[in-house]
Chain A
Amino acid sequence: MQDQLNALKLEAEQAIVQAADVVVLNELEVKFLGRKGELTSLLKGLAGVSAEDRPKLGALANEIKLSLERAVALRREGFEQEALSKLAESERVDVTEPGKAPLQGHIHIVSQAIDEITDIFSKIGFTRTRNPEVDWDWYAFESLNMPGDHPARDEWETFFMDAPVSKKGKMVLTPHTSNAQAHELERGEFPVRMINIGKCYRRQIDVTHVPMFHQFEGLCVDKNISISHLRGVLDYFAREFFGPDRKTRLRPFHFRFTEPSFEIDISCGVCGGTGIGADKQKCRVCKRGWLELGGAGMVHPNVLKASGVDPNVYSGFAFGWGVERTYMMKEGMKLDDIRTLYKNDLRFLQQF
C-alpha cells in the first residue's frame, strides 16, 4: 500500500511536471486528485489495512495529496506566468488603429456662444429674458427714440409683416434685441438687470450679413447708474469672455436710444494691442491695436419716459452686440462668408 502510494506520487509528480499545457494539467488533476481519481480509489484500500498501519498510511496519503495539490498549483501558476509573459505577442492588437467612435452630437456654435454669454452675465446678476421676435413698431423703434422717418424704419432696412397697423404701430420683425428695453421697463420692477439674447432680422444678405442673426442686449436701470458702471460691466465681460489680458476702451458714437453713445473697442489679441504684427508689419486683424466690439450707451431719457420711467429718478446703461460677430472675434474664427453659420452643412456643424 505504501509502495503503491509512493509510486502514485512519483508518477503523478512526473506527469504534472511534464504537463504540456493547462488543459493537460487539469486532466491530470482530475485523474489523480479528483473525486473519482486514482488517489481516492487507492485510499479505498485503506479499509483492508491493519488498524495499526492505518493512521500511518492515512497520514502518508494526506501528505501525498497536499504535495500533489501544491505541485498542480505551482505548475498552474507556471502556466499562467508563461501565458502572461507571452501576452504581448499572443493578444497583440494594432493600438494605432482608431478607437470606436461613440455617437457624437454637436451643439451649434451660436447656441454655445449664447450659453457662454448668459453665464458670464448671470454671475453679476444679469438675468436672461425672452422677448418677441415679431413685435410692434412701438417696441422696435418708437419707444427707442427713433423718429418715424428714421432710416431704420424704411422698408429696405426692416422687415414688415403683412398685418394691419395697430395702436402700437406696424408689426415688424425686430431688427435688434433693443425691443426688450421697453418690454422690460414697462414691468416697472426696479432695479433692472437684464440680458436679452435672441434672434434679430434685417433686410441684408451678403458675405458679412445674414437676414436673421442674434444679438445680446444688456440693460441696467437703477438710481444713480453712471458711465462708470457701464465701463465696469463691459470691462468685466471683456475679461471673462476674451481673457484677462484684454482691455476695453470707449469711443464716442451715435445711437438714437442712448445718450451718450459709445463704440466699445477691445485690445487686439493678435498683436497685443500694439497694432504691429509678428512680422513687424501693420497687424492684419485690427485697426491700430483695437477691434470694434459693438455699441453701448446711457439709456436716453426719452426711452425711459416712453415706458413711464422718470429719468430724473432713474438712469441706466444699455448695450447690444451681435452674438455671431462677438464669438468669432473671440475664437479668432475667420469665416469668409457669415452665411456659412446658417447653411447647415454638416461638415461645418460637426466641427464644433
Chain B
Amino acid sequence: MNSLVSYDWLSEYVDLSKVTPDEFARRMSLSGPAVEKIIPQGKDLDGIVVGFVTEVKPHPNADKLRLATVNAGEKGMLSIVCGGSNLAQNQWVAVALVGSRVRWHGEGDLITLVPTEIRGIPSEGMICAANEIGLFDAFPHSEREILDFGIALPEMNVKAGTPVADALGLSSDSVMDIEVTSNRVDAMGMVGMAREAAAILDEKFLWKESKVLAPKKGKAEKGNLSAKILAKEACTRYMAVRMEGVTLNTTPWWMKRRLLSAGIRPINIAVDISNYVMLELAQPIHIFDADAVKGGLQIRYAQADESILALDGKIYTLPDSVLVIADAEKPVAIAGVMGGEMSGVKSQSSSIIIEVATFDEVIIRRGSRKLNIQTDAQLRYEKGLSTAAPAFALARAVELLTELTGAKVVGEVVDLGQTMYKAKSYSITSDEVNRQIGITMTQKSMVDILKRLGFAVKTVGKKIQVTVPWWRDHDIEDGRDFVEEIARIQGYASIPAEIPFGLMPRPIDQELVWERRIRETSKMLGMTEIYSYSFVSEALLTKAGYDPKRMLYVQNPLTADFAVMRTTLLPSLLEIAAQNQERFTEQRLFEVANVYYPQSETWNTLPDEQLEIGALFIGMDEAWRAAKGYVENILSSLGLHEVAWKRLSGDSFWHPGRSVQAFYKGDLVATVGEVSPALLKNFKLERAAMVDIPLEKILPHASSTKTYHPDSVFPEAKRDLAIVIDRHVEYDDIARAIRRVDPLIRGVEWFDTYEGQHVAPGKKSLAMHLVFSHADRTLESAEVDALMERLLLALKEHFKAELRG
C-alpha cells in the first residue's frame, strides 16, 4: 500500500533538518519504505497571490459582473472584472496574476492568464474561486462563489501580495509517495514512518505519546456507555468513550492541510480528527453521533436480512459473515470498514462516541471483499493491528477533540477484550546474524540498530534477547526476523556479492531438452509457435467435438472462457487459425504445452500433466501432406525412424478418408490428417490439417544418437516405376512389398499419384523412384532389369498391379 507523506508533517516527529527530501528518498528506499515519487506542493499556485479588495463598483455593461480594485502588494492596485456572487469590499481574496495558471470554473485544463477585456473593461488578473486553483477540497463552495479567506481561513495573517502557496504553508512542503509493505502497518502512520526514518537516518525521534486515559470505575452517570463483544474471535479489543459538549468548529488549516496532503478530504472537525489520528498512528477510529445510537453497542455478525445505509450513501445488504457494530436495534457501522450514515456525526451533534477497536484482519478483509468496499480503515485493519494500539489512539483522539472542539469525556471508558498486553520476546545470536548476512558485524552495532528501531534489547554472551514493541507485534514472528532489521539498516549495499561455487550441476530433465529442440526444428520448418491458455471454455471444446465432462474444471474461473483444463491442444489451434484467417490465408502453427488428463474419475489425485505438440496447417495445396511431412520430420529428429502408419477411421474429429496414425514399437506416437469438415464448419474453416503428438509417450523412445553408415563406393542404379492399381491400395503396402522382393532394392521413393484421364475409374496410377545397389560391386543393367521384372510380378500377384503404359 502506498502512503502519501507530507515532509513538513513528518519533520514534526523526526528531525529532518540535516537531510534534503532527495537524500531522504534515497536512503529510505534502500533501507525501508520505498519513496516512489516526490511531489512538490503549491506548484500550481505560482503567480497566485493574496489580495485585498479595496473597492467594488458595478460593471457598466454587465449585470452579473463587477469591477474590483484589489491591493496585490508589490504588484500594486489591480483593476479586476469579477463575477463572484460574494465579492465584497475589505475582502481577502486569491488573485491570479497575468501569467499564472487557472482552471476556468474548475473544469478542463489549466489555462495561462493573459491581460484581457471583459465586456469592454480591461481586467488585470482574476479573483479566483477555490475550484479554479485546485483548492475546492480545502475550501468547498457553491457555484460562482469566490474564495473569501476571511471566512475560509480566519487564522490567516499575511500581507497583501503574499503568494497563496506561502499563505497556506504549501510552498515549503513536498509530499512523498511511499510504498509501505503489507507487514509494516505501523509505518502506514506518520509516527511509525518517523520512527523508521529516525532509525534509518540515525536522527532524533520527536513524537511523544498522548497520556492514556485511565478507565474510570464506578460513578455510573446518566447515559453511561455500554458495549458488549458477541463475536470474541472477530473483535479482540474494543474501546469506546463518550464525549459531550462538542462544538463543530471549522477544522484548523494545519489539520486540513495535512489531511489533504494525504489525499483525504476534510469533512467536519470530528471526522477530520478521527482521520487525522488514523494517519498519525495507523489505527482507525470511528466517531458516532451518540444521539443516533439506541441503547448499548454490540459487536456481532450481521443477522439475516440486515442492511445498512453506509457513509458512502449506498445501502448494503449484509451477509452473516460480515462483522458489524450494532445498537439495540440495528447495525450502526460495518466494523472496521465503514460507518453508517444514520449514526454519522452531523452539524448538530454535540454528543459523540469515539470507538477504537482491534478486529480480526481476515474477517475484515473477507467482509470488505464481499461487500466490495475499500476504505482507509479497512486497508489498515486487514493488515493486522496490535491490541495495544487502541489505548494510544483513543488518548490522542480525546486530546485533539478536547483541544479543538471543547468536548469533555463523560462516564467511564469502555475497554473490552484483550485489555492486558504482553509483549513478545525473541532471541538470536550475533553469529547467526553474521552467517545469514555473509559479513562480520559487532554485536554492539547490531544492538544499536535494534534500539534505534524501538526494540528493547538485552545481551547474554552472543545471545541478543529482543522485546518487540507493540507496533511491530504482527510482523516480527521469530528471532530470525532481526537479521533483516539489522541488515537493512546497516545497508544491503555493504554486503559483498559472491557466486556460490563448487557444486556439481544436476543433469537436466530430458523432456526440457527435447521440448526446446522441437521448437527449434519447428521454426526451421516454417512453423509459427503460439501460446494459448491452459484453460478453455466448454463452448470451444464442444465446438471442436470434445466432451468436456471428463476434464478438470476450475471451481472459480474468471469467466466461462477459462473454465476447463484442456486435455487437447487442438481446439485452441483451430480457434486461433480462425481468428487469423482473414489476414493469413496460409498458416502453419504449432504449440508445445501441457494438457491435463484425469488419473481418476473422482479427481482425488492431481491430473497427469502431459506435454504434447499440436500443429495446424491451412491454406496450402494438400495441407494433410504438409502436416504429415512435419510429423515425419519431427519423429525423425527424435530418432524414431521406423514408424508404422495406420489409416485412422471412426474418430469423429478427423476426416474419415484423410487421417492416419503413426506407431513406434506399438505405441501411438502421432495422429495427423485433415479435420472433419463437420467440425471445421463450426470454425468457418476449410481444409485444415492438424497434428497431435503425445510427446511424453514418445520420449522414452527418443534418441539423439546418430550412427554413420558408409556410402557404397559402387554406383547405384536408379529406375522409375509407374503402376496402375485399385485406388484403395495404399502406397505404404506397395513400398513394403517392393522392398521385400530383394535386399538389393535399397530405396523406394514416392513421387506421384494420379487419378483421372487415361486411368480407369476406380484405379490410380502410382509412380516411384527405385534405387538398387550392391555393397561389393556395380550392378549390371541386366540384373536390375531382372529385379524390376520380379518386383512387378510380385505387385501383380498381390495387388493386381499393371505397369502403366
Q: Which residues of B contact A254 (CB under 8 A)?
A: 181-184, 475
Given the known A-B contacts A160-B554, A171-B603, A227-B438, are A301 and B478 also in contact in the complex, defined by CB atoms under 8 Å? yes
- B555's partner among A161, A189, A220, A300 (CB-CB below 8 A) is A161
A110 interfacial by beta-carbon distance below 8 Å? yes
Among residues 479 to 526 in chain B, which have CB atoms less than 8 Å away from a CB atom of chain A?
480-481, 483-484, 487-488, 492-493, 495-500, 503-509, 511-512, 516, 519-520, 522-526
**What is the CA–CA distance of A252 and B484 in the complex, to the nearest angstrom?**
8
Interface flags for B174-186 (1: CB within 8 Å of A; 0: not) read 0000000111100
Q: Are B530 and A108 in touch, CB under 8 angstroms?
A: yes
Q: Which residues of B contact A160 (CB under 8 A)?
A: 554-556
**What is the CA–CA distance of A115 and B763 in the complex, to the nearest angstrom?**
51
Q: Are A341 and B531 in touch, CB under 8 angstroms?
A: yes
Which residue of chain A has the shortest Cβ distance to B492 in the bound complex?
Answer: A250
A260 interfacial by beta-carbon distance below 8 Å? yes
Q: Are B498 and A228 in touch, CB under 8 angstroms?
A: yes
Nearest-CB distance from B569 to chain A (Å)?
12
Nearest-CB distance from B748 to chain A (Å)?
27
Given the known A-B contacts A162-B603, A253-B181, are A259 and B366 also in contact in the complex, defined by CB atoms under 8 Å? no
Which residue of chain B has the shortest Cβ distance to A292 in the bound complex?
Answer: B34
**What is the CA–CA distance of A110 and B576 in the complex, to the nearest angstrom?**
18
B interface, how many residues as a size bin? 35 or more
Q: Are B530 and A347 in touch, CB under 8 angstroms?
A: no
Interface flags for B574-588 (1: CB within 8 Å of A; 0: not) read 001001100110011
Q: Are B587 and A249 in touch, CB under 8 angstroms?
A: no
Q: Are B437 and A226 in touch, CB under 8 angstroms?
A: yes
Q: Are A342 and B500 in touch, CB under 8 angstroms?
A: no
A287 interfacial by beta-carbon distance below 8 Å? yes
B203 interfacial by beta-carbon distance below 8 Å? no
A74 interfacial by beta-carbon distance below 8 Å? no
Q: Which residues of A contact B558 (CB under 8 A)?
A: 203-205, 211
Interchain pairs with CB closer than 8 A, number: 239
Q: Which residues of A contact B526 (CB under 8 A)?
A: 102-105
Given the known A-B contacts A125-B503, A226-B437, A344-B579, are A260 and B488 also in contact in the complex, defined by CB atoms under 8 Å? yes
Q: Which residues of B contact A235 (CB under 8 A)?
A: 497
**What is the CA–CA distance of A231 and B526 in the complex, to the nearest angstrom?**
42
**What is the CA–CA distance of A298 and B481 in the complex, to the nearest angstrom?**
11
Interface flags for A186-223 (1: CB within 8 Å of B; 0: not) read 00010101000001010111000001100000001010
- A107's partner among B25, B488, B523 (CB-CB below 8 A) is B523
Q: Are A126 and B34 in touch, CB under 8 angstroms?
A: no
Given the known A-B contacts A226-B435, A229-B498, are A103 and B530 also in contact in the complex, defined by CB atoms under 8 Å? no
Given the known A-B contacts A156-B369, A345-B580, are A229 and B552 also in contact in the complex, defined by CB atoms under 8 Å? no
Q: Are B29 and A191 in touch, CB under 8 angstroms?
A: no
Which residue of chain B has the shortest Cβ distance to A150 in the bound complex?
Answer: B362
Interface flags for A257-277 (1: CB within 8 Å of B; 0: not) read 001111100000000000000
Among residues 140 to 183 in chain A, which have CB atoms less than 8 Å away from a CB atom of chain B?
149, 151, 154-156, 159-164, 166, 171, 173
Given the known A-B contacts A227-B438, A345-B580, are A130 and B512 also in contact in the complex, defined by CB atoms under 8 Å? yes
- A261's partner among B484, B499, B507, B555 (CB-CB below 8 A) is B484
B206 interfacial by beta-carbon distance below 8 Å? no
Q: Which residues of B contact A294 (CB under 8 A)?
A: none
B690 interfacial by beta-carbon distance below 8 Å? no
Q: Are B505 and A228 in touch, CB under 8 angstroms?
A: no
B562 interfacial by beta-carbon distance below 8 Å? yes
Interface size on A, residues (CB 8 A): 87
Given the known A-B contacts A222-B503, A227-B492, are A344 and B531 also in contact in the complex, defined by CB atoms under 8 Å? yes
Among residues 265 to 305 in chain A, which have CB atoms less than 8 Å away from a CB atom of chain B?
287-288, 298, 300-301
Stretch at the interface among A2-10, A23-31, A50-58, A131-139: A131-139
Interface flags for B462-480 (1: CB within 8 Å of A; 0: not) read 0000000000000100101
Q: Are A298 and B503 in touch, CB under 8 angstroms?
A: no
B169 interfacial by beta-carbon distance below 8 Å? no
Q: Are A106 and B523 in touch, CB under 8 angstroms?
A: yes
Given the known A-B contacts A127-B506, A156-B369, are A229 and B500 also in contact in the complex, defined by CB atoms under 8 Å? yes
Q: Which residues of B contact A345 (CB under 8 A)?
A: 579-580
Given the known A-B contacts A161-B555, A162-B555, A249-B493, are A136 and B606 also in contact in the complex, defined by CB atoms under 8 Å? yes
Given the known A-B contacts A227-B487, A228-B438, A252-B32, are A134 and B596 also in contact in the complex, defined by CB atoms under 8 Å? yes
Nearest-CB distance from A249 to chain B (Å)?
7
Q: Are B183 and A111 in touch, CB under 8 angstroms?
A: no
**What is the CA–CA distance of A186 and B424 in the complex, to the nearest angstrom?**
32
Q: Are A159 and B554 in touch, CB under 8 angstroms?
A: yes
Q: Are B435 and A224 in touch, CB under 8 angstroms?
A: yes
**What is the CA–CA distance of A32 and B520 in the complex, to the nearest angstrom?**
63
Q: Are B579 and A259 in touch, CB under 8 angstroms?
A: no
Q: Are B30 and A249 in touch, CB under 8 angstroms?
A: yes
**What is the CA–CA distance of A173 and B556 in the complex, to the nearest angstrom?**
11
Given the known A-B contacts A211-B558, A233-B500, are A228 and B604 also in contact in the complex, defined by CB atoms under 8 Å? no
A interface majority secondary structure = mixed
B778 interfacial by beta-carbon distance below 8 Å? no
**What is the CA–CA distance of A105 and B487 in the complex, to the nearest angstrom?**
50
**What is the CA–CA distance of A103 and B30 in the complex, to the nearest angstrom?**
51
Q: Which residues of A contact B535 (CB under 8 A)?
A: 159, 173, 201, 211-212
**What is the CA–CA distance of A289 and B255 in the complex, to the nearest angstrom?**
34
Nearest-CB distance from A71 to chain B (Å)?
40
- B516's partner among A115, A151, A166, A191 (CB-CB below 8 A) is A115
Interface flags for B597-638 (1: CB within 8 Å of A; 0: not) read 000001111110100000000000000000000000000000
Q: Which residues of A contact B652 (CB under 8 A)?
A: none
Q: Are A349 and B530 in touch, CB under 8 angstroms?
A: yes
Nearest-CB distance from B623 to chain A (Å)?
14
**What is the CA–CA distance of A149 and B364 in the complex, to the nearest angstrom?**
12
Nearest-CB distance from A123 to chain B (Å)?
9
A251 interfacial by beta-carbon distance below 8 Å? yes
Q: Are B492 and A249 in touch, CB under 8 angstroms?
A: yes
- B523's partner among A105, A164, A342, A347 (CB-CB below 8 A) is A105
Q: Which residues of A contact B522 (CB under 8 A)?
A: 105, 107
- A191's partner among B488, B503, B606 (CB-CB below 8 A) is B503
Q: Are B438 and A128 in touch, CB under 8 angstroms?
A: no
A47 interfacial by beta-carbon distance below 8 Å? no
Nearest-CB distance from A283 to chain B (Å)?
13
Q: Are A350 and B528 in touch, CB under 8 angstroms?
A: yes
Q: Are B365 and A151 in touch, CB under 8 angstroms?
A: yes
Among residues 10 to 36 in chain B, which have CB atoms less than 8 Å away from a CB atom of chain A?
25-26, 29-32, 34-36
**What is the CA–CA distance of A229 and B499 in the complex, to the nearest angstrom?**
5
Given the known A-B contacts A344-B576, A347-B583, are A159 and B557 also in contact in the complex, defined by CB atoms under 8 Å? yes
Nearest-CB distance from B247 to chain A (Å)?
42
**What is the CA–CA distance of A301 and B366 in the complex, to the nearest angstrom?**
29
Nearest-CB distance from B480 to chain A (Å)?
6
B594 interfacial by beta-carbon distance below 8 Å? yes
**What is the CA–CA distance of A125 and B361 in the complex, to the nearest angstrom?**
43
A326 interfacial by beta-carbon distance below 8 Å? no
Given contacts A160-B556, A259-B483, 13 further A-B contacts (CB under 8 A): A125-B504, A128-B512, A130-B509, A133-B609, A151-B365, A151-B382, A162-B555, A164-B602, A252-B32, A259-B478, A300-B480, A344-B530, A350-B528
Could you give 5 example pairs across A and B, Cβ below 8 Å? A154-B365, A162-B553, A227-B438, A252-B484, A259-B483
Binding site for A on B (CB under 8 A): 25-26, 29-32, 34-37, 181-184, 361-362, 365-366, 369, 382, 435-439, 475, 478, 480-481, 483-484, 487-488, 492-493, 495-500, 503-509, 511-512, 516, 519-520, 522-535, 552-558, 562, 565, 576, 579-580, 583-584, 587-588, 594, 596, 602-607, 609
Binding site for B on A (CB under 8 A): 102-108, 110-111, 115, 118, 122, 124-130, 132-136, 149, 151, 154-156, 159-164, 166, 171, 173, 189, 191, 193, 199, 201, 203-205, 211-212, 220, 222, 224-229, 231-236, 249-254, 259-263, 287-288, 298, 300-301, 315, 341-342, 344-347, 349-350
